[in-house]
Structure 1
Amino acid sequence: MTPQRIISVVPSQTELLFDLGLDRELIGITKFCIHPADKVKNKTRVGGTKTLNLEQIHALRPDLILANKEENTREQIEALQEHFPVHVTDVNTLPDALAMIRTVGTLVGKADEADEMAQQIATSLILSPSSSPPSVAYFIWRKPYMVAAGDTFIDAMLAVAGFRNAFAGQSRYPEVTPDELRDTRPDLIFLSSEPYPFAEKHLTEMASICPSARALVIDGELFSWYGSRLLRAGDYFRNLRNELSL
C-alpha cells in the first residue's frame, strides 16, 4: 500500500519528496529541511537530524519514515524501527544517489517520476573530462578545521565535477591543521557554504595559511545533497569550471 503519512528526517530527501509531488503525504520534517522554502514552512518539525523528537514522531503516526545512515543516529533509528516502517538510505556515490531516488520513488508510488528524474540527473552530470584535474581541499568546518576526505559523497561529486580531492587518502571528515594544509599544497581551496557557513570574509584567512592555493566559497548543497537538488549540480559545476578557466 502506498504510504499516506511520511516523515523525512533527511533534508535532501525531504526536497526530493516535494519534487516528486508528495506535498500532502509528507507530514513531518527536521529543522534542517529548508527546501523548498515555501512548502517546508507548513510542515511539522520533529527535531534535528541527530536529535529527533521521538515522542512527536509517535504522535504523528507515520506509515513511512525516510532516514539516512550518515545523517541520523543509529540508536534513534533503531528505536523508531520497533514501531514504524523505516527506510534507511546509504549514499556515497552518484550511482548510489540515482539508485536511492529510484528506490524512494518506488516506495512512495512515484516510480516513473523518480526514474525520469534520475535519468535527467545522470545526463546533466556528464561533464567534459579534465586532462589534469586540479587538487582541491574541501572545507566543511572551522574551529577546528575539517575537510571532506575519501569515502564521502562530496569526494565522489568532486570527481564528477572534474576535480581531485587533495585529502582523498584520508577517510570521512578529518580535522586538519594549517601545517597539514600547507604540506598538502592543494591547487584550490573550496569553502563550503554548509554545514559551516563559510563566507567571503574567510577567504583572507585561507590566503594567509596557504597563499599558493586559490580559495573560493562554493555552494555546499550542490556537492553534498543527493536528492533532486542534483538537477542543478551539472550547470553549477560547468559554471564553476568556467570561472576557474578549466
Structure 2
Amino acid sequence: MREFRDQLNRVIRLANVPKRIISIVPSQTELLFFMGLDNEVTGITKFCIHPADKFKITPKVGGTKQLDLDKIRLLSPDLIIANKEENDREQVELLMQICPVWISDINDLDSALQMIHTVGEMTGKDPEATALCIQIKDNFNRLSRPPLNLRVAYLIWRKPNMVAGANTFIDGMLQTCGFTNVIQQERYPTVNASQLTEMAPDVVILSSEPYPFGQKHIDEFSAILPDARIILADGEMFSWYGSRLLHAPGYFKQLVDEVTKN
C-alpha cells in the first residue's frame, strides 16, 4: 500500500498505480493528459475543455461544483483528483466514500509544482512530472523581473465586481509579473465602483474567465477609472496551475510589454 499526502495534509492510500482516474479540476485534467494518461482518465467535468480532442471523447461527470455522483460511481474510479477551492466540500466528502480523493490547494507557483510532482508520483508518471516542473521553473526564471511600480486590480466577475485578492494563485501570478495587487483582502472580495476609484489602480485586468469580459466592459471601466489602463487578459494563463504553466511566462511577458509601452 502506497501512501501520499494531499495539500490538505490528508493521507491518501493507493494499493496500486491507479488505472481509472476521475479529475474534477480543469487545469489538473489538462495536466493528466499532458503526462500521457489518456487511457487512465475515465471521467472529467464539463469545464475540462483542454485538450479539446480529449474533451470530446471523455465521459463528463457534471460541473466542478455540481457533480453527478451516480455517474461517478458507475465509472468505478480508483482515484479522484479534486481541489479545495474549485470543488464543493460536501460533494468531495461524499466522493471519499467511493474511492481515495487527492485534494490540491494551490495559491502560488511552489504549491502548483508540488501538486504536479505528487500527481506524477501517484499516477506512475514521475519522470514526466519532474521534467515538466524543471521546464516550468526554467521558463519562470527567465521571466524574473524587478517590481514594475504598477498597482493592479484583477477582476474575475461582474455584478457584483469580484476581484482576486491576497493568498490566491492569481495574486501569485500578478506578483510574478512584477505587479502590485491593490486588493489586500484575502481570496475573492467584491468591490463597488467607488471603492475601485478610491484604490486608484494604474491597471485594471479583466479576465476571460470565469466571467467572459469583453470590449464593452473595457468601456465601462474606463468611464469609472479614466486614468487607469484597462486590458483584457487570458484567465487560463493566470489561474490554470497545471501544464499550462509552461506557456504562462511567455504570455505574461507579452502582457507586461503591452502595459508598459508608451
Letter in 2 for 1:23: D
CA displacement at 1:199 relative to structure 2: 1.2
1:97-145 superposed Cα distances (whole Å, 9 cap, x missing partner): 0000000000100001001101111110122423433111000000111
For 1:68, the equivalent position in structure 2 comes to 83
Instruction: Measure the CA separation in 2 of the matches of 1:101 and 1:133.
Output: 32
Decide which of 149, 152, 160 is 2:165's aligned counterpart.
149
Instruction: Measure the CA separation in 1 of the matches of 2:228 and 2:172.
Output: 21
Among the aligned pairs, what percent are the same residue?
55
CA displacement at 1:183 relative to structure 2: 0.1
1:157-207 superposed Cα distances (whole Å, 9 cap, x missing partner): 10011111110x111111100000000000000000000001122110000
For 2:196, the equivalent position in structure 1 comes to 181
Answering whether residue 123 of structure 2 is matched by residue 119 of structure 1, we say: no
1:19-53 superposed Cα distances (whole Å, 9 cap, x missing partner): 00011110100011010111111011000001111
Answering whether residue 130 of structure 2 is matched by residue 98 of structure 1, we say: no
Unaligned runs of 5+ in 2: 1-15
Scaled by the length of structure 1, the TM-score of the pair is 0.97
For 1:218, the equivalent position in structure 2 comes to 233
For 1:133, the equivalent position in structure 2 comes to 149
1:38-93 superposed Cα distances (whole Å, 9 cap, x missing partner): 11110110000011110000000001100001111111111111220111111111
Q: Secondary structure at the match of 1:41?
A: helix
Q: For the aligned residues, what is the CA RMSD?
A: 1.0
- State the aligned residue count: 245
Instruction: Measure the CA separation in 2 of the matches of 1:30 and 1:106.
Output: 23
For 2:23, the equivalent position in structure 1 comes to 8
For 2:40, the equivalent position in structure 1 comes to 25
Scaled by the length of structure 2, the TM-score of the pair is 0.92
For 1:78, the equivalent position in structure 2 comes to 93
Letter in 2 for 1:214: R
Instruction: Measure the CA separation in 1 of the matches of 2:144 and 2:128.
Output: 27
Q: Secondary structure at the match of 2:260?
A: coil
Q: How does 1:201-216 map to 2 (within 5 A)?
A: 201-216=216-231
Q: Secondary structure at the match of 1:45?
A: coil
Letter in 2 for 1:49: T
Instruction: Measure the CA separation in 2 of the matches of 1:131 and 1:48.
Output: 38
Letter in 1 for 2:151: S
Give the ranges of 4+ consecutive aligned residues of structure 1 lying more than 4 Å apart after TM superposition: none
